[in-house]
Amino acid sequence: MRTCILLLLMLFLPRCAEGTRAGAFSPDTFRFEFALYGQTRRFAMKFEPVDDSVAIRWSMPRHGKVYGGTYRMGKRSVEDGSRLCFLQPGHGKAIDVPADETAFMLSRKALRQLHDSLHFVYGNTRYDLVDSLPAAPGLKSLHVADRTEGCEMWIVDDLRLPLVWRMKGNPLGIDWTVTNVAEAMSRADGKLRVAFIADPHVQDVVSRPELARTMAAQLGSTRLFNENIHAFRSALDDVAARGIRLVVLPGDLTDNGQAANVEAVRRMLDAYMKRHGMMFFVTTGNHDPAQPRGKDYVADDLLSADGRRTAMASSKELGSGKLPVDTTLHCLGYEELMRAWAAFGYSPREEYLYWSTPFSKYDYEDYTLDEAEKAATPQMRRYMLGDSLQGVDASYVVEPVEGLWLLAIDGNVFLPERTDDSKDVYRSPSAGYANVWKHKRFLIEWTGRVAADARRLGKTLVAFCHYPATDFHNGAGEQISNFMKPKAMNLHRVPPREVGTALLEAGIGLHFAGHLHQNHTAVVSDGQGRSLYNIQVPSTAADVPAYKILTLESPGRFRVETVVLDTVGGFRDLWPRYMKERALAPGVWDTDILYSPDYAAFCDRHFRSLVTSRYLEKEMPAVVRDSIARMDGAALMRLAGLHVAEGDTVAWTGMDLVTDLYRLHFAGSLSRRHIPRSRMAQYRALWDACAATAGSGKKTPATIQSALRDICAMMKAFAESEPDGDFVIDFSEGKASLHETAR
């Protein structure tokens, strides 16, 4: 160590802003933070394989100019080097590292020696193994120490790149830490991965058990309430264990933006950032915020420890002053929410390589953190709704790692409904892109500019919004409109066709969305080889509970995987309260749900109850409720003209048929978990038989026969949607394609 030439490394240079893919060794940029004589200096390094050699490119900006250079290590250095190189770099220069030295990494020989002998010799100094602690889940790290001079090193235990990711006590006074080692090494196979977790609807029943809600309320809701915080944590744990460091959260992180729940989410994400090196990117949903300027709130379905239903208000003015008051139930508005979650994409961070909004005045080439911070304030992100009403838009584009742009589209538009007690009351923004198309067209135009910049700069662009950008019924919309009641199957939330076309023409190829608690893929194509893929991410708080992983396999080629949450720790914590609730109100709900063997089964039983108590009553015509749902499967098959012989097994009912219709709509291919193959085969025969007797398609009073035909037509459409579980999207051949993959 003492024989090394002192690296007067960048004492004059501030934070870095550049990085790139580094192939088989590490396709990401490593962000080094040096401690030099009491000062901190930051810069970026990318390790690129060149045949059997390695080039290390460093970079950082200064006074509006990007400085950089290269270290080059030959095969002998990489394989057999025996000392660290500390040669001083120069702007625009390439340094050939001496054949017996390595820069910022050990040689493979030294790492093998450490494995075999629990020590190695570098620079005539012996380093002994102290311990082997993971730098993060899935990332092994070996801690060594020089017993003579006290120098310590932490080394990534990977022969592809034995990176010295931390140096402490260097006798030359040069210590460093790689601040994103877990994130960067997670892509050592050359593939960047991003997790998408939608609609967790977190309710903080862990630190605030008094906020638990009744089971009766849950069974009438499209999502769970109390178990959601456990499911969200389990999803994040699974993401961390897979070594994924980039996580997109497309809205509805809480159930109405209550301050207590917003703070719980903030604490949770902060902890994962610190413990696992994760980076989170959020966008607005219709539940956070629920109103643009916030609102007071009455929770009237809370569940006490003794099983009683209770209520609580966020202010004494609500409930005529008779309810207990908890101000943390106040629902936050835009500005409060954006401040609380500023670290999760709403504001720029030092480690981002680029960040901007639709209102930013700077370009990629002249980006600075200072200018980005000025553009991030709510005051700088206002737009006009009509002549006098102002709104705040939370959209942004961010480059968290070199080459990847994440485009967060704020699909909320709050339109005034009435004024109560001098307070504006706004309609729910749940229509999403329909209102964006009418009132925030500037977002579509900005998206086009972002996509054009991404193409010009060679960036991979992935867009996300809380709301779907395309139809999600696979052509069954007219059938739903004619047969079912208004707003059935979220028909009123289908965006105008012009939205998908406009995003496609703007240059968006991948668009992830939530909101619907649906697992689905839809495609908009222009007939000339260009396509927009809208990927609906299921909710972790509804059936089937799951999240998605996007893997960038190669330029223009993407793999999507859907991960189901079967196991969730803590989801039974409130069951004693539920049993007391049930004892006080027998017959209100079925206790079968409390015998669920795992979380996925719990969600399934919640879903089945929801179909019976909500969808069947509120969305289906009376003939389905009064006739079809009460019939057995064999009778329905005979009604369609199918022969059912004596002894043939038809182990399903009309209620199963209706439930499976909704399963196919919401869960897509994930419904295979609950629909046996034999039943699906009989369904297909039923669909074909009903199709042969199809009616006019006009809206007419439903008979049993016509209702059965409509149900079968919708089921067939949902079952034959685009692949939505595990699939590959390929833009690389000049014509977009999608195909399903086997696990």
Instruction: Tell me what pLDDT residue 17 has.
Output: 26
Cβ-Cβ contacts under 8 Å for 643 (sequence gap 6 or more): none
Least-confidence region, from 287-291, 405-409, 499-503 = 287-291
Least-confidence region, from 34-48, 87-101, 234-248, 277-291 = 34-48
Q: How many CA atoms lie within 13 A of 569 on its CB side?
A: 6
Instruction: Tell me what pLDDT residue 16 has.
Output: 29
pLDDT in tens, 594-615: 999 999 999 999 999 999 999 9
pLDDT in tens, 364-407: 999 999 999 999 999 999 999 888 889 999 999 999 998 999 99
Instruction: Tell me what pLDDT residue 28 has.
Output: 61
The residue among 276 and 576 whose pLDDT is bigger is: 576
Residues 257-285, mean pLDDT to the nearest whole number: 95
The residue among 389 and 15 whose pLDDT is bigger is: 389
How far apart CA 427 and CA 389 sit, in angstroms, is 14
Instruction: Tell me what pLDDT residue 647 has.
Output: 79
Instruction: Tell me what pLDDT residue 461 has.
Output: 98
The residue among 475 and 16 whose pLDDT is bigger is: 475
Cβ-Cβ contacts under 8 Å for 400 (sequence gap 6 or more): 246, 279, 281, 351, 352, 353, 406
Instruction: Tell me what pLDDT residue 350 has.
Output: 92
Q: Which domains are seen in the chain, by residue range?
A: 30-182 (no CATH), 192-569+732-738 (3.60.21.10), 589-719 (no CATH)
Torsional class of 631: left (φ above 0), alpha (ψ -120 to 50), beta (otherwise):
beta
CA angle 606/608/611 to nearest 5° reads 110
How far apart CA 20 and CA 247 sit, in angstroms, is 20
Residues 60-81, mean pLDDT to the nearest whole number: 85
Is the pLDDT at 295 greater than 50, yes or no? Answer: yes
Is the pLDDT at 304 greater than 80, yes or no? Answer: yes
Instruction: Tell me what pLDDT residue 21 has.
Output: 27
The residue among 1 and 149 whose pLDDT is bigger is: 149
Torsional class of 38: left (φ above 0), alpha (ψ -120 to 50), beta (otherwise):
left
Residues 5-12, mean pLDDT to the nearest whole number: 34
Q: Is 270 helix (H, G, I), strand (E, B) or coil?
A: helix
Is the pLDDT at 545 greater than 60, yes or no? Answer: yes
Q: Is 87 helix (H, G, I), strand (E, B) or coil?
A: coil
Distance between alpha carbon 27 and the CA centroid of its chain, in Å? 22
Instruction: Tell me what pLDDT residue 417 has.
Output: 82
Instruction: Tell me what pLDDT residue 22 has.
Output: 28
Percent of the chain's residues with pLDDT above 90: 74
Instruction: Tell me what pLDDT residue 572 has.
Output: 96
Structure token pair of residue 400: 């968290």
Phi, psi values for residue 583, rounded to 5°: -65, -35
Cα→Cα distances 46→86, 161, 221, Å: 17, 12, 49
Sign, Cα dihedral of 703, 706, 712, 713: negative
Question: What confidence category does residue 12 fall into, taking pLDDT thresholds of 50, 70 and 90?
Answer: very low
Is the pLDDT at 24 greater than 60, yes or no? Answer: no
Does this model's pTM top 0.85?
no
The residue among 106 and 12 whose pLDDT is bigger is: 106
Instruction: Tell me what pLDDT residue 535 has.
Output: 98
Is the pLDDT at 257 greater than 50, yes or no? Answer: yes
| Average pLDDT, rounded, for the chain | 89
Residues 48-72, mean pLDDT to the nearest whole number: 81
Question: What confidence category does residue 183 fall into, taking pLDDT thresholds of 50, 70 and 90?
Answer: low
Instruction: Tell me what pLDDT residue 13 has.
Output: 33
Among 499, 512, 357, smallest CA distance to 433 is for 499
Phi, psi values for residue 402, rounded to 5°: -55, 125
Structure token pair of residue 356: 């901007």
How far apart CA 489 and CA 5 sit, in angstroms, is 69
How far apart CA 587 and CA 585 sit, in angstroms, is 6
Is the pLDDT at 4 greater than 60, yes or no? Answer: no
DSSP string, 122-174: ETTEEEEEEEE--SBTTB-EEEEE-TTT--EEEEE--TT--BEEEEES-TTSE
pLDDT in tens, 641-697: 999 988 788 999 999 999 999 999 999 999 999 999 999 999 999 999 998 876 545
Rg, C-alpha atoms of the chain: 29
β-pairing, 460-465 with 546-554? unpaired
Q: Identify the H or E element spanning 241.
A: helix 228-241
Instruction: Tell me what pLDDT residue 591 has.
Output: 92
Instruction: Tell me what pLDDT residue 408 has.
Output: 98
How far apart CA 487 and CA 481 sit, in angstroms, is 8
Is the pLDDT at 51 greater than 80, yes or no? Answer: no
Residues 550-573, mean pLDDT to the nearest whole number: 94
Instruction: Tell me what pLDDT residue 702 has.
Output: 74
Question: What confidence category does residue 64 fall into, taking pLDDT thresholds of 50, 70 and 90?
Answer: low
Instruction: Tell me what pLDDT residue 34 has.
Output: 87
Among 736, 695, 702, 740, smallest CA distance to 721 is for 740
Torsional class of 725: left (φ above 0), alpha (ψ -120 to 50), beta (otherwise):
alpha
